[in-house]
Amino acid sequence: MIFERRFLLGALAIAIVFPLLGWSEYVIHVGVLIMFSIMLATGFNLIVGYVGEFSLGHTAFLGIGAYTAALLSSSLGMPIFFNIAAAAVVAAIAGFFIGAVTLRLRGPFFVIVTLCFAEVLRIVANNWVALTNGPMGIAGIVKPAWMAQQTALQQKIDFYYIGLALVTVCVYFAYRFVYSFLGRAVVTIRENRFVAQSVGIWPYSYSLLAFVVASAMAGVAGAFYAHYVSYVGPEVFGFPFMISMIIMVLLGGKGTLIGPVIGPVIVVLLEEYLRDFKDLRFSIFGLVIVAVVLFVPQGLMGFVAARREQYARK
């Protein structure tokens, strides 16, 4: 707990200072991608790492958040921060309903059915042309007004700091969730569902709460992404986003708060580095997943930073 808090605060300090070092536009862009990924991974980890159920449909909420922001911005001209908040709320509501249905299942059933939900949404986004503009997607989401006069670099830096602020909020909520009776309850459910019930914990309700919080975070990430790339298409519901989320959380260490912070850093950098390998990089990615599962199943932080509690003796 103490270690995790110090690590996260230290990382925050570094992240605040980072853009001041005179980097190129490209480097800041990579930083923005990392921020986006951390939001996503932090939420996803609440389900995979703490509740211990494996969702393959978390992109549903990423997409819902992205489309919410895109629609609010393009048809109503609402400002970015309003859209992000609205995306969080809409994604949380969707998370409540989808979670309420899917969390009745466990194991492989949960895995496949969450995936089904994301697929249904992708198909809807593809076909409901009147609302989503179909496969064309929604383009031209306007940048915030204050950015109008800025250089491209300054715009990216602004997005970086918006991203960092959102990451801070997400990680704060995740931290509070994990180190409160909520985290204790979901870890109990993860470790032994029967014992959890026998001491009065209702697994369904706590799993659902974690699911809703995770959905809200994915919604925030989606809205942030929509404004940053100023375009949203059906592929936000697609499996590739899901794969990156999985690798990030797994590599970093599921069931830790630090894992979903360093996982995205490594994976985004790796992805950028592997760009030189062109198409081969996706093949390499597949092998990386296999290697992680075989050789570091706990993730890099799994042993160091799993949720631990000790009694402070007087």
Instruction: Note whether 202 binds other proteins by CB under 8 A.
Output: yes
* Cβ atoms 91, 218 nearer than 8 A: yes
Nearer to other proteins by Cβ, of 42 and 73: the residue is: 42
Residue range at the interface with other proteins (CB under 8 A); choices 17-25, 136-144, 151-159, 179-187: 179-187
Instruction: Note whether 126 binds other proteins by CB under 8 A.
Output: yes
Q: How far does Cα 16 stand from its chain's mean position?
A: 20
Of 22, 77, 107, 140, the residue at the interface with other proteins (CB under 8 A) is 107
**What is the bridge-based pairing of β-strands 138-139 and 231-232?**
antiparallel
Instruction: Note whether 5 binds other proteins by CB under 8 A.
Output: no
Of 38, 64, 86, 246, the residue at the interface with other proteins (CB under 8 A) is 246
Residue range at the interface with other proteins (CB under 8 A); choices 2-10, 58-66, 76-84, 103-111: 103-111
Report the distance separating Cα 113 and Cα 176, nearest Å. 29
C-alpha neighbours within 13 Å on the C-beta side of residue 157? 15
Q: Which two tokens stand for residue 136?
A: 């064309």
Of 85, 124, 142, 270, the residue at the interface with other proteins (CB under 8 A) is 124
Angle of CA points 46, 85, 226, to nearest 5°: 85
Coil, strand or helix: which one is 54? coil
Cβ 110 to other proteins, closest distance in Å? 10
- Alpha-carbon distances, residue 300 vs 88, 129, 237 (angstroms): 30, 43, 28
Size of the residue set binding other proteins (CB under 8 A):
66
Residue range at the interface with other proteins (CB under 8 A); choices 5-13, 123-131, 143-151, 154-162: 123-131
> Residues with Cβ < 8 Å from 82, sequence gap 6 or more?
72
Instruction: Note whether 130 binds other proteins by CB under 8 A.
Output: no
C-alpha neighbours within 13 Å on the C-beta side of residue 235? 6
Instruction: Note whether 136 binds other proteins by CB under 8 A.
Output: no
Of 5, 6, 89, 191, the residue at the interface with other proteins (CB under 8 A) is 191
> What track of x and - describes contact with other proteins for positions 281 through 300 (by CB under 8 A)?
-xx-xxxxxx-xxx--x---
Report the distance separating Cα 69 and Cα 80, nearest Å. 8
Nearer to other proteins by Cβ, of 107 and 140: the residue is: 107
Three-state secondary structure of 154-223:
HHHHHHHHHHHHHHHHHHHHHHHHHCCHHHHHHHHHHHCHHHHHHCCCCHHHHHHHHHHHHHHHHHHHHH
Four-CA torsion 208, 210, 214, 220, nearest 10 degrees: 90
Of 89, 136, 195, 269, the residue at the interface with other proteins (CB under 8 A) is 195
Instruction: Note whether 96 binds other proteins by CB under 8 A.
Output: no
Nearer to other proteins by Cβ, of 54 and 161: the residue is: 54
User: What are φ and ψ of residue 139, in 5° steps?
Assistant: -105, 170
| Stretch 28-87 residues interacting with other proteins (CB under 8 A) | 54
Q: H or E stretch including 7? A: helix 2-17
| Stretch 139-178 residues interacting with other proteins (CB under 8 A) | 173, 176-177
DSSP 297: T
Instruction: Note whether 180 binds other proteins by CB under 8 A.
Output: yes
Of 9, 165, 269, 308, the residue at the interface with other proteins (CB under 8 A) is 308
Q: Which two tokens stand for residue 8?
A: 């996260």
Residue ranges in contact with other proteins by CB under 8 A: 54, 101-102, 104-105, 107-109, 111-113, 115-117, 119-120, 123-124, 126-127, 173, 176-177, 180-182, 184-185, 187-188, 191-192, 194-203, 209, 239, 243, 246, 250, 279-280, 282-283, 285-290, 292-294, 297, 308-312
